[in-house]
Amino acid sequence: MRGPWHQFGDRSQRFALELLQSGAGVGVVISPRDLSWDNAKDYSQQYHGLNAQVLIDQQFYIPDFSNPRMESYPISHHRISISQLCQIPDAKLRDLSNQLRIINSELSTEGLIAPAVVYEAGRQDIFQLNERLFSASKLVGDDLGIPTFASVMLGQSITTSDHTIDVALSQITSLQSDGWYLGFQFEDERIPSSIDSVSRFCQVSLTLACTGNPVLHAYAGPLALLSFGAGVTGVCIGHFQNLWKFSPRRWQVRTSQQGGGGDAPPRFFSTNLWGTIIYPDELVQLPLSLINRIITPSPFSSSVTPSATVPWSRWEANKHLVYSICSTIDSITSSNDPRANANSAIQILDNAISLHDDIKNHEVYLADNTDAYQANWREALINLLSNNSSDYDYLDLIS
């Protein structure tokens, strides 16, 4: 389970298959929102054939959200409002358990991710509901002989303060869980950049890791660079930006049509920048010496050249991004020591900050504030190492 996982979103099934075939990733997390039940069964067999592990996240975050794909699953009739779920009788809870057993058996999952509603501050009803959902799931996981992971989806009303996080974790960690499936809602920005919020995420991860159970960071995106330094066991990475951090909006009914980027040019993810640069528009503004430092190759970037004369598709750029993050994660996780993982990430961020400074010195300013988070992430990790020495010592003892 240790390493990078493919987080499902739109059009992820074949995407994940191709990435696994290229050697990227240890498993997949199937999304009912984006893949029908019949296709889930078909693709899970193909993933297992590539020695990949399979999990399915039931995505009960906003429990009354549904779509045609979700409706194809045996558990779909339990997608009702939070208030209705809070009053679900034991008989229906047993039926939910039976449907979880069917789904996880047929997909041959390596673990059972318990359904859960997004945790919100002051909502004791949600804490009690999630405890019941977890207990019903744990019976199934134990019966199937696989670990049961508690879904820890922390809404923004919790993640904005240390106090609300402490209150939530004190209850969540009382669950007799075999592991944690962690989603953390950040501010509404492309990539989380606030030192405070990133530090709180790292602290949550480290706290869960100190239970001695594995932590799977859901919707990690590029932030996966920090996760293993905070004690995480696995990271879930998707190709679209709406998979780069947990947001309940993906499970809410859209009130207006949202665009998909139109004919926007591809963005090249550089592991040396730990960020993106628009290809070719921004890249060609730089001297060859810098371009050669920025271009970090993958099996999906063969069309990318310093002269930028060959077209490169956004879809290939997406594959390159996920492959590049997976490759870096594989390198970091060659050590099982979270302190070493944190220091490896700090070194990557040091180099990225220096390279971004060199780009600015040539009066090129990259779009989307793609240089806005590296220094803050570095500081968050340095603070974590400094302030949580006893937690790291404890992880050493139990490892």
Please indicate, yes or no, if residue 172 is contained in any of the structural domains.
yes
| Shared-domain flag, residues 53 and 145 | yes
| Shared-domain flag, residues 225 and 345 | no
Domains: count for the chain: 2
Q: What is the rounded average pLDDT of the residues 151-175?
A: 97
pLDDT digit string, tens, across residues 3-52: 999 999 999 999 999 999 999 999 999 999 999 999 999 999 999 999 99
pLDDT of residue 1: 78
| Shared-domain flag, residues 60 and 193 | yes
Q: CA distances (Å), 57 to each of 36, 109, 128, in order?
A: 13, 11, 20
Q: Do residues 57 and 29 lie in contact, with contact meaning Cβ atoms separated by under 8 Å?
A: yes
| Shared-domain flag, residues 218 and 301 | no
Please indicate, yes or no, if residue 262 is contained in any of the structural domains.
no
Please indicate, yes or no, if residue 260 is contained in any of the structural domains.
no
pLDDT digit string, tens, across residues 317-343: 999 999 999 999 999 999 999 999 999
* Long-range Cβ pairs for the range 289-298 (8 Å, 24+): 290/355, 290/358, 290/359, 290/362, 293/355, 293/358, 294/268, 294/270, 294/355, 295/268, 295/270, 296/270, 296/271, 296/272, 296/324, 298/323, 298/324, 298/327
Please indicate, yes or no, if residue 290 is contained in any of the structural domains.
yes
| Shared-domain flag, residues 59 and 124 | yes
Domain boundary residue, one of 207, 227, 251: 251
| Shared-domain flag, residues 279 and 241 | no
Signed CA dihedral, 242, 244, 245, 246: sign only:
positive
| Shared-domain flag, residues 293 and 240 | no
| Shared-domain flag, residues 32 and 92 | yes
Task: Report whether the peptide linkage leading into residue 214 is cis, meaning its omega lies within 30 degrees of zero.
Answer: no
Q: What percent of the chain has pLDDT over 90?
A: 91
| Shared-domain flag, residues 133 and 274 | no
Structure tokens at 31: 């999304």
pLDDT of residue 262: 55
d(CA 320, CA 269): 7
Banded model confidence at residue 305, pLDDT cuts 50, 70, 90 = confident
Please indicate, yes or no, if residue 103 is contained in any of the structural domains.
yes
pLDDT digit string, tens, across residues 39-91: 999 999 999 999 999 999 999 999 999 999 999 999 999 999 999 999 999 99
| Shared-domain flag, residues 191 and 68 | yes
| Count of Cβ atoms closer than 10 Å to residue 135 Cβ | 15
Q: Where do we find the tokens 């820890």?
A: 152
Domain boundary residue, one of 251, 281, 303: 251
CATH number of the CATH domain containing 110: 3.20.20.80
Question: Is pLDDT above 90 for 264?
Answer: no
Banded model confidence at residue 259, pLDDT cuts 50, 70, 90 = very low
| Shared-domain flag, residues 241 and 276 | no
Please indicate, yes or no, if residue 396 is contained in any of the structural domains.
no
Domain boundary residue, one of 251, 284, 319: 251
3-class secondary structure, 341 = helix
Q: CA distances (Å), 376 to each of 28, 140, 364, in order?
A: 30, 42, 21
Q: Do residues 271 and 328 lie in contact, with contact meaning Cβ atoms separated by under 8 Å?
A: yes
Please indicate, yes or no, if residue 261 is contained in any of the structural domains.
no
Q: CA distances (Å), 252 to each of 63, 80, 203, 310, 386, in order?
A: 10, 13, 28, 40, 40
Claim: this prediction has a pTM higher than 0.85: yes
Please indicate, yes or no, if residue 395 is contained in any of the structural domains.
no
| Shared-domain flag, residues 280 and 218 | no
Domain span at 314: 267-390
